A and B are shown apart, each in its own frame.
Chain A
Amino acid sequence: MKYASQKVAYWFFASAILLLSLQIVYGFIMGFAHLGYDGWHSVIPFNTARAVHTNLLVVWILLGFMGSAYYIIPEEAQHELVSVKLAYIQLISFLAVGVTAIVGYHLNYWEGRKFLEIPRPLDWLVVINVLTFLGIILATLYKGKKRTTTSLVMTMGLVFAALLYLPGMIWFDNQTMDSFFRWWVVHLWVEGVWELIMGGILAFLLIKLTGVDREVIEKWLYVIVGLTFLSGILGTGHHYYYIGVGKIWLIVGGIFSMLEPLAFLAMALFAVGMYRKGEKKHPNKLALYWTLGTAILSFVGAGLLGMAHTLPQVNMYTHGTLVTAMHGHLAFWGAYGMIVFSFITFAMPNLTGRKLYDTAIGQLAYWLTNVGMIGMTIAFGVAGVAQVYLERKVGLEFGAVQQEIEVHFFILILTASMFATGILLFIYEFFRFGKPNNEAIGIEE
């Protein structure tokens, strides 16, 4: 850590991992419901559990991104954040809006549009909050000495993410139009602008951890985000196949979304390449593991498993089945969960001054979470493929098929327990570092 204001990142990270643990609780509620145990039904019906699960996911990932930005931008711009007080206010108000929304989901107060369940009045509070965040980041960059490519790419991702939230707030009478613009948020986030944020964080981590020359790393960063937009923008078409718009999307969406894995492949090759090239002197080995892990698992979860069902001929059958849930889990975890975990692992020793590098518990957390999540992906995948065959090919009734595939949710619960144990260990390790403090300034290099 070089600037005192970077300390604010700690509180974003602490909030993020605590909300993740709550997300997991609701995941278990849904897993058990699929297994046939829906004892919570009268208090937390499935749709409540689901809205909470996916919204907490988005909220903790965004908190992770914001925390990372508050750490990275001062260091890259060589300037303290313009206002630390405002950053704390922004955190607290963001949490307040999130908690209100989640309480609302238990009281049938929501807007039932997948991933965008936050009711309209709260949406406006989110907008104000995000504008505050962007204001702090942009003002810091503006006043800073340097505007590096890494910081610009990351900021561009954050600004576009905010802009793209807006089309999701328009009411349409027509379900087709509703769905059309919902994807401007959901798809263009995860397969577009969030990749810029991820790319920026990844570049920063590789510069610090491998010691490879910044110019080389930032050149590749441009190539990666270039591939992202080149494929991802028109790739939105893979959500337009079957919602009531024209067949042109079958061709455009099919071709361009098949190219989307290239950006993730480039990220994996880039991370491994820089690791090979680097000096391997940095003591924070665990952060390097997480960084290489995210580059590789995002390619598997988003790239390969996305590609597996993105052609219209395949998607016709898999669309809206547990196959989608399989891909959703490994993609979100591999790309955005793990990049946040990489950054936390990198930042904690620097924020607190405690050199708990490469501990046994940290290692165990790494393997349990990742192996557990791969297991969950397999469980969802097997259930999904069986569902597609029985329901879409053979034509059995939905309920009959669900009973056939119930057993896979037992495996899901087992592997999810492994994952959850890993998360608990990670959280334990996080709090073992203690609080961030000013003695930690300037100790790392």
Chain B
Amino acid sequence: MLSKSQARTFFLGGTIVTFAIFLGLSWNSLSNDVPKQTNPQNLTDQVIRGKHLWESNNCMGCHTIFGEGAYYAPELTKVFERRGEGYMKAVLTSKQPWAPRGRKMVAYGFTDEEASDLIKFFKWIGEVDLNGFPPKPDVKR
């Protein structure tokens, strides 16, 4: 039977080996995948301001982006492609809670400039190569 010191060796050995592999793979992702898949050259000041607005208002507390966030409001990864600029501007600058089908969004009443920052952020988000996410619906109606 396994002894306690063998069990400890299994624990320490497994941890060190997998952690080393994990660090290696992470390094590879950050230095090779991120430049290839996320278009960092397009991260303009506007996009970055958009990200600040996204975070400081906790939009992720209702929506998802890259599939991460909350499940109360729509996935926004491809919102730029789906809705276009005009629709988004109307939602973001509205002084009344935007409430399609009755479910309310907070009425942020962003300025035109803030709204364009967010829209540029969403445009950048939509162009990231996500290995095929979100999936295309494939059941025939």
- Residues of A near any B CB (own CB < 8 A): 30, 33-34, 36, 38, 41, 45-48, 50-51, 105, 108, 110-114, 117, 149, 173-177, 179-180, 215, 218-220, 222-223, 225-227, 229-230, 233-234, 236-237, 240-250, 252, 256, 316-317, 319-322, 324-325, 387, 389, 391-395, 398-400, 402-403
Contact = CB atoms under 8 A, between A and B. Distances in A.
A226 B38 contact: no
B34 A320 contact: no
A112 B58 contact: yes
Contacts of B131: 241-242, 247, 250
B75 A173 contact: no
Helix, strand, loop or mixed for chain A's interface? helix
Interface of B: 2-4, 7-8, 10-11, 14-15, 18-19, 21-22, 25-26, 28-30, 32-34, 37-38, 40, 43, 47-48, 51, 54-62, 64-75, 97, 100-104, 106, 125, 128-139, 141
A38 B136 CA distance: 31
B139 to A, nearest CB: 5
B102 A244 contact: no
Contacts of A250: 131
A222 B51 contact: no
Contact of B61 (A47, A241, A395): A47
B129 to A, nearest CB: 7
21 contacts: A33-B103, A46-B72, A46-B73, A50-B61, A50-B70, A149-B4, A174-B43, A219-B4, A222-B7, A226-B11, A236-B22, A237-B25, A241-B131, A244-B66, A248-B25, A316-B132, A316-B135, A317-B135, A387-B71, A395-B137, A398-B75
B68 A114 contact: yes
B92 to A, nearest CB: 15
Contacts of B25: 234, 237, 248-249, 252
List the 6 closest pairs (A to B, CB-CB), nearest first: A47-B61, A395-B137, A112-B58, A320-B67, A242-B133, A222-B7
A247 B131 CA distance: 7
